[in-house]
């Protein structure tokens, strides 16, 4: 089956560079860490079942454990097999890594999680896919849903990236939650939202 357009940038990067950091398409380790910081500041992960949708190499789990935040279980979902295998090779005792595309197969998000998180994994989705994925995750997350997205052209200069106005995203997710935290102060052009059901 032909790979969808939102996966093509990652697959092409893996062909060129293998499953290393460069193929995750982060601007730098610093920008990745800034997003991780923003997620941890607004959401509770310790002792909880966490689904990391689009987990890449499970770098977020590495970050959590290095910060002495230990999930009860970490379930990573990754559509790019090379990344999924790199995540499995880390052999974290609390981790289970699933190979699959959560955009086309949204039932993969249904893992009984306390928290569903998207970190960078929404940035290549067209608006219809972006909002449909958030709606599906919002319906499945009994505790918290946390995600970041590009909110201006400042960080979305590459052709494969999309950005969304913060006001539009907040308007869409407001019916999904009783409490919303919005943080766009950590990186110019990026925003993290955490919903508590």
> Could you tell me the residue ranges of all domains in the chain?
8-196
State residue 184's pLDDT score.
Answer: 96
Question: Would the pLDDT of 18 be above 80?
Answer: yes
- The pTM is what? 0.95
Question: Would the pLDDT of 1 be above 70?
Answer: no
Question: Would the pLDDT of 158 be above 90?
Answer: no
User: Could you confirm whether domain 8-196 is CATH 3.10.150.10?
Assistant: no
State residue 197's pLDDT score.
Answer: 85
Q: Are 170 and 184 in contact (CB under 8 A)?
A: no
Contacts of residue 38, Cβ cutoff 8 Å, sequence gap at least 6: 148, 183, 186, 192
Structure tokens at 35: 């997003």
Q: pLDDT tens-digit profile of 70-90? A: 999 999 999 999 999 999 999
Mean pLDDT of all residues in 94-113: 97
First to last CA, the chain: 37
């Amino acid at each position: 089956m032909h790979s969808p357009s939102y996966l093509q940038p990652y697959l092409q990067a893996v062909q060129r560079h293998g499953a290393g950091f460069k193929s995750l398409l982060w601007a730098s380790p610093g920008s990745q860490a800034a997003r991780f910081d923003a997620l941890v500041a607004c959401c509770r992960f310790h002792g909880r079942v966490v689904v990391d949708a689009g987990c890449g190499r499970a770098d977020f789990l590495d970050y959590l454990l290095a910060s002495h935040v230990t999930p009860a279980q970490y379930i990573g979902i990754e559509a790019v097999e090379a990344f999924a295998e790199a995540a499995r090779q880390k052999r974290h005792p609390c981790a289970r890594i699933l190979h699959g595309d959560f955009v086309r197969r949204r039932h993969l998000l249904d893992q009984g999680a306390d928290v569903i998180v998207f970190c960078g994994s929404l940035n290549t989705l067209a608006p219809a896919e972006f909002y449909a994925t958030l709606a599906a995750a919002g319906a499945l997350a009994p505790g918290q849903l946390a995600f970041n997205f590009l909110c201006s052209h400042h960080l979305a200069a590459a052709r494969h990236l999309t950005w969304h106005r913060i006001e539009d995203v907040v308007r869409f997710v407001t019916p999904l939650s009783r409490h919303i935290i919005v943080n766009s102060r950590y990186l110019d052009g990026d925003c993290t939202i955490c919903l508590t059901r």
